[in-house]
Amino acid sequence: MAIGKSQKKVNKKGKGKKVVDTMARKEWYDVRAPNQFKERNVCKTLVNRTAGLRIASDSLKGRVFEANLGDLNKNEDQGFRKMKLRVEDVQGDKCITLFYGMDITRDKLCSMIKKWKTLIEANVEVTTTDGYKLRMKLRVEDVQGDKCITLFYGMDITRDKLCSMIKKWKTLIEANVEVTTTDGYKLRVFCIAFTRKQENQNKKTCYAQSSQIHAIRAKMVEIITEEVSKSDLASLVNKFCAELIGARIQKECTRIYPIENTMIRKVKMLKAPKVELAKLMEQHTEVVKKEEEGAKVEEPVAPLAGNGGRL
């Protein structure tokens, strides 16, 4: 270095910067599922505390949670289906949710796809009677205290279930349709089915013809539109959980060509009306089971009258 040249000053920017724990600014909320499910407590969620003009409950409303139907209904046989719930309200420390969509797991879908069968698919967008456009997801609609109130927001099946259904020598049939429920929810519903061998069939494959596939797909769209358009969102969720729509489709379409593993693969909500708090809380009232237990009632024994001596 040349004599007399000043040394470069060291940049001390950022030195001594205070380290802040981001978790210290957050608080926990419970996510509650509607009363169509046996297990009401879905999970817990984090949000930044209310500060200034930013309110914690506003950050929670609209959040979407995905839960396994097997966990919600405490039934392992329904573990291949995924439900989506959306937070509609927050009360205390609980997020109140509503149904927001449905799907099946990928493993379930893959297990149904097999060789020598034709896969037939169709999808339809529907709106329920109470105005919800259908994927099962839960979305936060309201915040009450530290609880997030959710509504159904969609449904799906797991990947393992889907993969387990896909097999060789079969036709995969899919359909989808957009429908509106009676309460104004607009949904897109996806249905899936697989052809199967007829009774006493020796042929290795069971492929359906194009005309049969078109007829089955049309029947899928017809049944889904009919079932969804005459139901509100709450009753529709019960139909999805009980697989009632898939069972009806399989029964009526078997007349065209034998099919199996018929189910609602996915439900996606496209448009939802503004939810009134009173209607929202109807789906979050506690379901109390009345137990009628008969207990033996003993008649009171009147004391014997005495005159002061021994009896």
Tens of pLDDT, residues 40-72: 888 888 888 888 888 888 888 888 888 888 888
Determine the residue type at 222.
Answer: E
Residue 294 in any domain: the answer is no
Residue 252 in any domain: the answer is yes
Residue 145 in any domain: the answer is yes
Query: What confidence score (pLDDT) does residue 293 get?
Result: 42
Rounded Cα gap, residues 266 and 107, in angstroms: 14
Residue 126 in any domain: the answer is yes
Residue 174 in any domain: the answer is yes
Query: What confidence score (pLDDT) does residue 88 get?
Result: 84
Rounded Cα gap, residues 128 and 237, in angstroms: 10
- How many structural domains comprise the chain? 1
State which residues form the domain around 270.
22-275
Query: What confidence score (pLDDT) does residue 132 get?
Result: 42
Residue 91 in any domain: the answer is yes
Residue 311 in any domain: the answer is no
pLDDT per residue, tens digit, the chain (311 aa), is 555 666 665 565 656 677 778 888 888 988 888 888 888 888 888 888 888 888 888 888 888 888 888 888 888 888 888 888 888 888 888 877 777 777 777 777 777 777 666 555 545 444 455 444 333 455 556 566 666 777 788 888 888 888 888 889 999 999 999 999 998 999 999 999 999 998 888 999 999 999 999 999 999 999 999 999 999 888 898 888 888 999 999 999 999 999 999 999 999 989 888 877 777 777 777 644 433 344 444 554 455 444 544 44
Residue 292 in any domain: the answer is no
